[in-house]
Amino acid sequence: MSVANKSVELQLQVRHQTEELQDFMRELDGWEKDIKKKDDELRRQSGQAPALDPTLPPVRNRNYKKRTNKKTVSQNNKKNKENKPTRIKSYDYKSWEKFDVEKVLEELDKNDSSPESDTEDEEIDVEKALSEKEKGNNYFKQGKYDEAIECYTRAMTMDPYNPAFPTNRASTFLKLKK
């Protein structure tokens, strides 16, 4: 076969495949329209509203109802303010634009109660915890795993924020296959 014959044959194959693809897409579009019709019919029968425009995304907060009675709204707002701090709804974009993150962070920092007068006790506890850890390490090296666990546990109670103590205790439990 010559090169010209091969190119003609390839062109025919491409056309044939393109026609097959177009036929498939037409069938798929028809199927999609049938399904949408059936869906709308089922929604009407069940009392639901038919789908709006199928090309549009669903309406956000379509089920949200605005209150019309101003007295009940104001009474509910007073109760909510007394009981809970103000909470901004996710769909209330205007309120989110007015929200001051820095102000809230400052208030949280003011309310944060971390006692600084007990710093000496914490340092002593940290030192004791480190010494218990060293004892536990020595017991671990000697193969006395139960004593090592006790030392690491005491160290954890003295300084619960040091991640080395529970890690060492866990490795000791692994040695004991617990």
Could you give the percent of the chain with pLDDT greater than 70?
Answer: 71
The verdict on residue 147 lying in a domain is yes
Phi, psi of 21 (to 5 degrees): -65, -40
Work out how many domains the chain is built from and give that number.
Answer: 2
- Report residue 65's pLDDT band, with 50, 70 and 90 as the boundaries: low
Gap between the Cα atoms of 67 and 79, Å rounded: 16
* pLDDT tens-digit map of 135-150: 999 999 999 999 999 9
The verdict on residue 79 lying in a domain is no
- Retrieve residue 166's tokens: 């529970």
For residue 67, pLDDT beyond 50: no
Give the mean model confidence (pLDDT) for residues 83-90: 72
The verdict on residue 69 lying in a domain is no
Give the mean model confidence (pLDDT) for residues 69-88: 60
For residue 103, pLDDT beyond 50: yes
The verdict on residue 63 lying in a domain is no
Q: Is 88 helix (H, G, I), strand (E, B) or coil?
A: coil
The verdict on residue 7 lying in a domain is yes
The pLDDT of residue 74 is 58
The domain in which residue 158 lies consists of 120-175
The pLDDT of residue 30 is 94
- Report residue 21's pLDDT band, with 50, 70 and 90 as the boundaries: very high
- Retrieve residue 169's tokens: 């205790």
The pTM of the whole model exceeds 0.75: no
- For residue 27, what is the enclosing H or E element? helix 3-46
